[in-house]
Amino acid sequence: MKREIARLKHSLRPKRGWGVPLAWLTLCVVWSSTWLAIKIGLRDLPPISFVAIRFLIAIIVLLAVSIGRVRLLPMRRNDYAVLAITGILMFAVNYTLLFWAELHVSSGLAAVLQATIPIFGMIFAHWMLPDEPLRLQKLSGAIIALGGVAVICGRLLGFNGRLAFWGGVGVVFGAASAAFANVLVKARSIQLAPAMLAAWQMIFGIAPLLVLGFAVDGNPARFHWTAMAIFCLLYLAVIGSALTFLLLYWLLPRLTVAQLQSISLITPPGAVVLGWVLGGESFPISSLLGAALVLAGVWMIFRKGAVREPVIQEG
């Protein structure tokens, strides 16, 4: 009888095969590359409209794969308010600041600074989620990581000028906005399929950006639509947003939290390497030291299951 139960349990376990490691590797590679794609796309496209059009395309893809498969509308009216607030923070504030910052900051350093999301997330969770108190290990990791941020921003101010400094500050502020949005969504427990949750956040987030972009950047038809700009836009929208989001939630039941969190630690170094090899970006020793401190602090927060849910580190 015990053998039969054991066989039954074994048969019910998800079979990994090559699908799981391939999906995990895809997330690592794609999320490492999105930062450079943003940098290259900004050569031809203005940042506000670039963000808006990217996620407009991503919304269309997410709706296409969700219609007929999952519930499209939130169950409660209050959910719309939460989705609107978190969508504006996540996509309007975070990504607009990130894209603008990459006009003045290297793609690799932008990825490192964005890796502060879990630091702010644990602080907000301490106040908003009773079952996730701030512990000494997390606090120590946060202090180390923020020290790394100070080193990077100090380097930017001293050698790259004020715009680079404010670009770095903008990425960190955007990371804090995204972290608050993540914690708020968790605290309110919205009953909606992940793909549609993201789609609704994008809808609310890009609505003001479409208007602002048209006012500031002008008619999108008059943008400098080079082949490279179109490629970067489609790559970020379809591969870097819609596909990776679906892959992440496909992996959730198939991998441990630690295995998923490892993606967040691999992405920034990957972005630095790609920026150096393909983008011709240079990284002074002081910036690399700051990046190492940030990643060490984030690792301390993640270590031994300190964070219960994966943090999306997408560019």
pLDDT per position as a tens digit, 105-127: 989 889 988 988 888 888 888 88
Residues 47 and 100: beta-carbon distance below 8 Å? yes
CB neighbour list of residue 38: distance below 8 Å, 6 or more residues apart? 50, 98, 99, 102, 107, 110, 232, 236, 315
Instruction: Give the mean model confidence (pLDDT) for residues 1-5.
Output: 48
CB neighbour list of residue 200: distance below 8 Å, 6 or more residues apart? 74, 80, 83, 87, 192
182: tokens are: 């993540």
How large a percentage of the chain has pLDDT more than 90? Answer: 45
Residues 178 and 90: beta-carbon distance below 8 Å? yes
Domain boundaries, the chain: 31-305
247: tokens are: 């892959």
Instruction: Return d(Cα 175, Cα 120) in angstroms, integer.
Output: 8
Assess whether pLDDT exceeds 70 at residue 159. no
* Residue 240 DSSP class: I
Assess whether pLDDT exceeds 70 at residue 8. no
pLDDT at 306: 46
Number of separate helices (H) and strands (E) present in the chain? 14, 0
Q: How many CA atoms lie within 13 A of 292 on its CB side?
A: 7
Residue type, 273: V
Instruction: Return d(Cα 299, Cα 167) in angstroms, integer.
Output: 25
Helix (H) or strand (E) holding 94, with range, is none
Which of the listed ranges 2-11, 47-56, 185-194, 263-272 does the model predict with the highest average pLDDT? 47-56
Assess whether pLDDT exceeds 70 at residue 138. yes
Stated pTM of the model: 0.84
pLDDT at 304: 61
Give me the residue label for tokens 């020290």: 147
Assess whether pLDDT exceeds 60 at residue 11. no
CB neighbour list of residue 289: distance below 8 Å, 6 or more residues apart? 148, 151
Mean pLDDT estimate for the chain: 85
Q: How confident is the model at residue 251 (pLDDT cuts 50, 70, 90)?
A: confident
